[in-house]
Amino acid sequence: MNRFIAAVTAGIMVACAAHAEVTEEDIANDQTITSQIVTNGMGRGLQRFSPLDILNKDNVKNLVPAWAFSLGGEKQRGQETQPLVYDGVMYITGSYSRMYAIDLATGKEIWQYDARLPEGILPCCDVINRGAAIYGNNIYFGTLDARLVALDLKTGKVVWNKKIENYKEGYSYTAAPLIVDGKVMVGNSGGEFGVVGAVYAYDAETGDLVWKRPTIEGNMGMLNGEESTMTGELNATWPGDMWKTGGGATWLGGSYDADTDTLVFGAGNPSPWNSWLRGAGQASGKDDHSGDNLYAATRLGIDPATGEIKWHFQTTPREGWDFDGVNEVVGFTDKDGNKRYGTADRNGFFYVLNREDGAFVRAFPFVQNITWAEGIDETGRPIYVEAARPGDPSKAADGEKGEPVFAVPGFLGGKNWMPMSYSEKTGMFYVPSNEWGMDIWNEPITYKKGAAYLGAGFTIKPLFEDHIGSLKAIDPNTGEIKWDHKNDAPLWGGVMTTAGGLVFFGTPEGKFIALDDESGEELWSFQTGSGIVGQPVTWDQDGEQYVSIVSGWGGAVPLWGGEVAKKVAYLNQGGMVWTFKLPKQLAAAE
């Protein structure tokens, strides 16, 4: 039921009255303005690095809880949100498309908004929401029935509510929006239902659609209410009419590179998973890319003004393992002063790209025992092990099930949605990864609107007895893994680094942890009571540094994880915001 709970105390309303609107400059400088967090990623470049060093390796042991807030009700499930902080208020989203405004000083609720979700929504991977964005006097977030909502920051009242796509066809939306030059940039979810991925830009003030860019070739873009240009070239890499249900959902949102004025979004798995139906494996030679299925499993550089594609880099052409291609793209400057992007793909390889044009620079594996490819060639294309591709069911004796294979990584990826961090202090990426594989096989499938469109079966399996999760410190210049923090259960939450030399992350077992960024040594931890799949943030307030994480077990692992799901079935759901601070009197203590 849709409900809006307004503030009832005069003190809270007075505190909110001091609110000043968020400008493009505020957003552009979000990583360096340490008293606020108004963007996903603690800055549109998604480095998730804070220049704060009040809290450091010597005093982090003195970090103590300041307050906790319960999301309440029976709607626990997975809590993957990243908190936002502005003008004395914290804003979080919750499962089932909820939004909360919380007083930073006390942890008391100011207002709550619950989206009115219809019957029949079709979320793939739990009823999660990954966060919001602030601009002007509004806060923006998406809902599971594929809508984009603008709420008033002070009151939580709806300013506008726009339909992105039709949820009955399998579309949904879970990512945090991205604000650039007064436009709200969003993607869509639903690749398992044969939708067509797209990136959309809405006018932040009115909610009007400015442009739409589909991510599957053959589909027409929109600009200012009219058709613009076709994505790619019709049937260049897709057979027949399959581009009409080609997948490529943009379900994780994107980043913005101010240096090149480029949006960077990833497009997910092609539909269906059964690659033989899409012409995959039929290429006659190295230069024949007719089965690549562009622009699925691809990173796209997009003009934020028009939605035109500037460049593309496809991580897994002929994708047949649900490796997707949506994982975040993070800008950084390498040791030689070159402007680069780093992205850790579900396929198990970490890629470094040129920021000017998305061109391939280098790639290296960041998980163990990869089976589907021998490596990446000098152009950035995989060197396939064709025997590791799930078999063609049409060649099977019964025509019902292709030859199964054991593939590494599993379809949940060497790294899934959970955001990594890049430290400007160490020059390293801190990547939450998982070591697992899967039995996978292909099956016949026919598209039906609103029905699952996979054409595959699978079972995820752990690779090692002592761990699945692995937080790795990686040098992007060499591919060297400096250290590796192993965890029994899969890692499924975000990572944050700070100038104080700390790496923060949480585990499904409920531990919120701070590590030494150079050695990986554990310096501090706190048991939150439920599994952590959220994203940590930090800010300063009245001379003290605060850290916050949302705890609440869920997400894709317990739903899709096969043998791994059984391994973590004992974990409890929850729904709490935990906020910690380093008191001034303990900041200098050792």
What secondary structure letter does DSSP report for 37?
B
- Any bridge partners for residue 69, and if so which? 577
Residues 475, 342: Cα–Cα separation, whole Å = 11
Q: Are strands 49-50 and 496-498 parallel, antiparallel or unpaired?
A: parallel
Residues 293, 272: Cα–Cα separation, whole Å = 11
Of the candidates 322, 324, 345, 517, the residue annotated as catalytic is 322
**Strand runs labelled E in 387-455:** 405-407, 421-422, 429-434, 436-442
**Do residues 529 and 576 lie in contact, with contact meaning Cβ atoms separated by under 8 Å?**
yes
List the one residue out of 566, 571, 511, 567 whose CA is nearest residue 536. 511
Q: Judge whether 322 counts as a catalytic residue.
A: yes
Of how many residues is the chain composed?
Answer: 590
Give the DSSP H/E element, type plus range, for residue 81: none
Residues 163, 117: Cα–Cα separation, whole Å = 13
DSSP 109-157: EEEEEE--PPTT---SS-S-----EEEBTEEEEEETTTEEEEEETTT--
What secondary structure letter does DSSP report for 332?
E
Q: Which 3-state string (H, E, C) describes 164-222?
A: CCCHHHCCECCCCCEEECCEEEECCECHHHCCECEEEEEECCCCCEEEEEECCCCCEEE
Give the DSSP H/E element, type plus range, for residue 582: strand 576-582
**Do residues 161 and 140 lie in contact, with contact meaning Cβ atoms separated by under 8 Å?**
no
Residues 250, 214: Cα–Cα separation, whole Å = 9
Active site residues: 322
